[in-house]
Amino acid sequence: MVPSKDTIAAGVEKLDRHMDKRDFGTERDMLRKALALEQETSKFYARMVDEMGEDGKLFARFLEIEEGHQVIVQAEIDYLEKNGYFFDFQEFTMEH
């Protein structure tokens, strides 16, 4: 049985109150470290592609994967910071 609209709304409100009290500092720090690691890994793969030429094609695919990881981690950071961005798309601005 599907809960009523009011029951769902009450559940969402309760979750929002809980999430507002939660300290995301540690999670944000971990995500920033993860982002830095993804960026360093991408630099390594980019260097391999540049230095190895034709033999570096495998690293080109790894680079694409790492760039995707960066986008995902950045989206998580943006969500926690509520900065108005979602996957590099500005959903809202705090300016008038």
pLDDT in tens, 26-56: 888 889 999 998 999 999 999 989 998 888 8
Task: Choose between 83 and 74: higher pLDDT.
Answer: 74
- Give the pLDDT of residue 78: 84
- The two tokens of residue 56 are 């570096």
- Find residue 90's DSSP bridge partners: 85
Angle of the 25-52 helix axis to the 57-81 helix axis, nearest 10? 160
Are 38 and 73 contacting, i.e. CB atoms less than 8 angstroms apart? yes
pLDDT tens digits, residue range 2-23? 557 787 667 767 766 655 565 5
What pLDDT, on a 0 to 100 scale, did the predictor assign at position 10?
73
Alpha helices, DSSP H only, in 1-96? 5-21, 25-52, 57-81
pTM of the model: 0.60
> Residue 67's pLDDT is what?
93
